């Protein structure tokens, strides 16, 4: 079975599913978008944590360290919430 045959078969199954149970397809799309949003939040929190911690170490500022640590904790909690759902 080559990839073109597999792709055609997969598209056919997806099309039939969409015709037979459009509610399920909408729920799956909503879950996919929700997961992408969570991944974006985790990435944003980790990026902010990295920048804030680097600035905190550069200027020796406990405020930036605290903000960076808070962003890192927010990333971990957001990731746990994603995995729990």
Cα end-to-end distance, the chain, whole Å: 35
Quick: pLDDT tens for 54-83.
999 999 989 999 999 999 999 999 888 878
d(CA 72, CA 85) in angstroms, rounded, equals 20
Domain coverage including residue 11: 3-84
56 vs 21, residue with greater confidence: 56
What is the band of 20 on the pLDDT scale with cuts at 50, 70, 90?
A: confident
For 80, counting Cβ atoms within 10 Å of its Cβ (0-12 exposed, 13-18 middle, 19+ buried), the class is exposed
Mean pLDDT calculated for residue range 1-5: 76
Whole-prediction pTM value?
A: 0.68
DSSP string, 39-76: HHHHHHHHHHHHHHHHHHHHHT-HHHHHHHHHHHHHHH
């Amino acid at each position: 079975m080559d990839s073109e045959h597999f792709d055609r078969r997969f598209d056919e199954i997806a099309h039939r599913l969409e015709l037979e149970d459009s509610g399920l397809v909408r729920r799956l799309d909503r879950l996919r978008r929700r997961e992408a949003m969570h991944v974006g939040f985790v990435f944003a929190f980790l990026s902010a944590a990295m920048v804030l911690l680097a600035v905190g170490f550069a200027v020796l500022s406990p405020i930036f360290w605290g903000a960076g640590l808070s962003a890192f904790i927010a990333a971990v909690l957001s990731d746990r919430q994603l995995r729990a759902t």
